Chain A
Amino acid sequence: MKEKLVLSIFVSVFLAVLMGGQVYAQTVKAYMGTSPENNVKIVNFVKEKTGIQILQTFQSFGEIEAKVKSEAPNFNADIIVGCGSPLAFMAKKNKWSVPYDSPNWKGVAPEFIDSDKNWFNIANFSFVLVGNRDKLKEKGYTMPKSWKELTDPKWKDQIVMPSPLSSGTANMIRYAFLALYGEEQGWNFLAALDKNIHHYTRSGNAPTDLVGRGEFLLGITSDENVKKRIDEGYPLLWSIPEEGIGYDGTFALILSGTKMMDACKKIIDVLGTQAFSDMMAGIGYMTPRPAPNALYGKTTPKYIKLDLGWAAENRPKWNDIWKEKFRTEFK
């Protein structure tokens, strides 16, 4: 008899687990590509302001792009909060995004909102050079002043950067150098740099952690988490080399076919508020509504002159060249 009781208790718990599931008032599924922890911050912010629960998976910008491309037009998410410019432009062109004229996005500079209200740039981010303070001191090296110095053979196998195939940050790094040096010289620079790269990481923020933990001396990395990691106690140095840095937006857009249109609109509304900009600037982003930046302070860093449309258009071609140069042939 006792066995039957135990068994029935087990079965009922089992069924409860199977049937159960957290029930939220309103849930929206999102692809989000900022960083695992910043994703959570945005989710919590939206939940606090609107009561809407965002269910998200973290992926790199490039991975979200790949996913959306492969799913089109049957998307498994309602909204994207955090993707790169190539996908934002592509989505508009293919009508994967739904335009929405949000009252909260009025008066924002044109680089932060699409003229037809298809995409919303919730924050600009850049890439910086990071180094491990302790390890550099150990070796007697100092932080390079310019990007050119990174091609010095002394850094062999000591630099990590993300892979442009999966990371939006790396895509930005690549087009920034191509814009800075011109396409031909740009590729030569990347090839010279490649000789010193230990490996290309999947995600744009990963070099910050790898260099911070002392696995590698230098990293070219997204600026999103640098401030936070320094505050946490990682022995990190960061700098903007003299040639300047590139930038890309972090785009939000509503995916067509969503059954949660009202909730999606509410999320877009919230993303346009000053409070949201304040939060993002507190992490280290450059925001649509001006706010003091945690990393750069009040000064604006030196930017390389860029044309994001040109960069987005050429991304497939450059990916092919990149694969051919740095991956297809094994060295």
Chain B
Amino acid sequence: MAKAESYSVPQSNVWERLKTFINAELINILAAILFLLLAIFLLYPILAVLIKSIRDPQGLTFAYYLKFFTKGYYFQSLQNTLLLGFINTVICLVVGFCLAYLTTRGPLVLRKPLKIISMMPLIAPPYLFAISLIILFGRNGILTKAFALNWSIYGFTGVVVAQTLAFIPLAYLMIENTLMSLNPNLEESAYDLGASEGRIIRTITIPLLTPGILKAGLLVFVMTIAEFGNAAILGGRTPFLAPDTYTMIIGEADFEMGSVLSVILIIPCIIIFFLHNYLLTGKKFTTIGGKPVASEPRKMTPLVKIPFLVIGFTAVFAIFISFGVVLMASFTKILGVKNEIVFSHILNFDSNRAIYNSIQVSLIAALIGAIIGTLLAYVIVRGKFFGRTFIEMVSLSGFALPGTVIGIGYLLAFNTPPFKLTGGIMILALNCVFRFLAVGVEAGISKLHQINIEIEEASSDLGANFMTTFYKIILPIMFPAFIAGFIYTFMTAIVSLSAVVFLVSPGFELAAVKIFDAAVYGEIGLASATTMKLVAIVVLCMMILNYLTKKTGFDITQKKGV
């Protein structure tokens, strides 16, 4: 068809018409391309898992599900997983709230150090805490021996503690963000009218924080039940769905049963995702979009301050100690057995390639993720086509999809032609892009809601074509969202294990997987040393990025001022 047309119409004319067409329809073309990408890299893999779980060589079957629900083991596994998810979510939300309150409303001297330590777990693999718990509380652990403790960390409680510490920063970050943009006027007037601080928190702060708390809860729940590093190292014989899925796929190539477990793992996540959406729609929270207003430091009443400080400090202390012992372990020959200072773990360079790959994958993922995220946000907010809400839903579903499931989905979907991607680096990067897309998209959406469409319309009325408008107006406005997406994807991609562990191949190893292997294997020294190297690199990258955003951010505010 296209060929015939190009014969009948003069070349330049086609080109002109194509240009006007693109200019007018660019947003729809963009939407189509983005939707295609989402369909291939997010929906198709999930579908592949679903199909695998209900098919055997003879055709449709529910035999695998029947097995799941009739065997006590799997049921126990499901029960443990859900219990772990709920306990952890509650603890993380409480601790996260206390910390966020302290760092935004508490004593000024404490704000910065508390904030830094609460965020530390973000830059380390989540199972750092399994390693530190073994060092401290293992059967031959430092504290176990010193105080003759009788706490068995190999089991449910050990996993809960490790997972809680690992995901406190997620809860903290989300709640702190909302708390920062919360206009303190309401709280202050209540205070002036004589309400007690406890009452203000209960009736004003927390209700206004609902969106942040809900989002934090969703994120923590999904991460807790999907990231299986801690459960695999500390679980002992206590079954959890995510590590079981991992053993089934990696150890036994039992893709059918692994898929069933994955589907089961998705269900609670999806329920919570929809619940969260349902609770938020139709309600107006005046705080969102509001400019952060610096709150005047107010004295906290001891009745609130003391419990908050106790909770906050316990968490922060545990996090700090965990990093401390892991650092110590990376310089100790065999911690607890032969406490000599050695440099052999740190100087073991076998993992260099894996670390290099991790940086490369995370950078590619962050770049692609930030671009796609920004474009998606634009299309969702400004587009006027059918199915916009659906696209929004799909792109935000990354919040709710367990990494384990996406990993298996990629393995199933991209192992055979036409989409043969396994055994390369792109599958690792793409996986991270689509798993962590939601943050960039959301940041972009909220940025776009802040500016009036009139600026764009004015620009096009003045004769600027779409590209110019995009480049001169939209891009500068969305740049902070782009950076947010970039940083989040980079940080999560470099330490996350649950999805990529299924996709590494010879030559394309990742540091997070390597550390996990060493830890499972029992080589605590090597695992610790590699963790520390990874942490150092992430910190370095973040510093560079921070410096750059400050520089470029300055640039943008100037442009906006004009």
Q: Which residues of A contact B (CB under 8 A)?
A: 2-3, 6-7, 10, 14, 17-18, 21-22, 27, 29-31, 35-36, 40, 55-60, 62-63, 65-67, 69-71, 74, 76-77, 135, 163, 165-166, 198-203, 205-206, 208-210, 212-216, 232-235, 319, 327-330
A328→B71 contact, CB < 8 A: yes
Check A14/B363 contact, CB under 8 A, given A40-B350, A76-B422, A330-B239: yes
Which of these, A7, A203, A206, A210, contacts B552 with CB under 8 Å?
A: A7
A199→B236 contact, CB < 8 A: yes
B250→A63 contact, CB < 8 A: yes
A199→B506 contact, CB < 8 A: no
Check A77/B506 contact, CB under 8 A, given A18-B360, A22-B353, A198-B154: yes
Which of these, A21, A29, A166, A206, contacts B252 with CB under 8 Å?
A: A166
Identify the stretch in B118-126, B160-168, B277-285, B334-342 within 8 Å (CB) of chain A at 4 or more residues: B334-342
B251→A29 contact, CB < 8 A: no
Q: Chain A residues near B337 (CB, 8 Å)?
A: 212-214, 233-235
Q: Which residue of A lies closest to B76 (CB)?
A: A330
Q: Which residue of A lies closest to B134 (CB)?
A: A215
Q: Which residue of B lies closest to A43 (CB)?
A: B350
From DSSP, what is the main secondary structure of chain B's interface residues?
Answer: helix
B509→A57 contact, CB < 8 A: yes
Q: Which residue of B lies closest to A135 (CB)?
A: B140
Which of these, B74, B255, B364, B505, contacts A77 with CB under 8 Å?
A: B505
A214→B415 contact, CB < 8 A: no
Which of these, B71, B73, B138, B517, contacts A215 with CB under 8 Å?
A: B138
Q: How far is the CA of A166 from the CA of B337 in the complex (A)?
A: 29
Q: How far is the CA of A6 from the CA of B524 in the complex (A)?
A: 40
222-262 of chain B: CB within 8 A of chain A: 232, 235-237, 239, 247, 249-253, 255
12-60 of chain B: CB within 8 A of chain A: none
Check A213/B522 contact, CB under 8 A, given A3-B554, A55-B507, A330-B239: yes
A3→B551 contact, CB < 8 A: yes
Q: 4 nearest interchain CB pairs?
A: A209-B522, A76-B423, A214-B140, A166-B251
A261 to chain B, nearest CB (A): 17
Q: Chain B residues near A210 (CB, 8 Å)?
A: 522
Q: How far is the CA of A71 from the CA of B416 in the complex (A)?
A: 8
Q: Which residue of A lies closest to B340 (CB)?
A: A233
A71→B252 contact, CB < 8 A: no
B121 to chain A, nearest CB (A): 24
Contact bitstring B523-548, A, C-beta under 8 A = 1, else 0: 11000000000000000000010011
From DSSP, what is the main secondary structure of chain A's interface residues?
Answer: mixed
Q: How far is the CA of A29 from the CA of B485 in the complex (A)?
A: 34
Q: Chain A residues near B423 (CB, 8 Å)?
A: 29, 76-77
Max count, chain B CB within 10 A of own CB: residue among A66, A135, A201, A203 = A66
Max count, chain B CB within 10 A of own CB: residue among A7, A70, A203 = A70
B10 at the interface (CB under 8 A from A): no
B457 at the interface (CB under 8 A from A): no
Check A65/B506 contact, CB under 8 A, given A7-B552, A76-B422, A330-B72: no
B548→A7 contact, CB < 8 A: yes
B327 at the interface (CB under 8 A from A): no
B369 to chain A, nearest CB (A): 14
Q: How far is the CA of A61 from the CA of B188 in the complex (A)?
A: 64
Q: Which residue of B lies closest to A70 (CB)?
A: B253
Q: Chain B residues near A201 (CB, 8 Å)?
A: 520
Q: How far is the CA of A106 from the CA of B253 in the complex (A)?
A: 36
Q: Chain A residues near B235 (CB, 8 Å)?
A: 199
Q: Chain B residues near A213 (CB, 8 Å)?
A: 138, 140, 334, 336-337, 522, 524
Given A200-B237, A210-B522, 8 more A-B residue pairs with CB atoms under 8 Å apart are A55-B353, A57-B509, A66-B253, A74-B416, A198-B154, A199-B236, A205-B521, A330-B72
Q: How far is the CA of A10 from the CA of B379 in the complex (A)?
A: 29
B363→A17 contact, CB < 8 A: yes
B251→A202 contact, CB < 8 A: yes
Q: Chain A residues near B338 (CB, 8 Å)?
A: 232-234
Q: Which residue of B lies closest to A27 (CB)?
A: B507
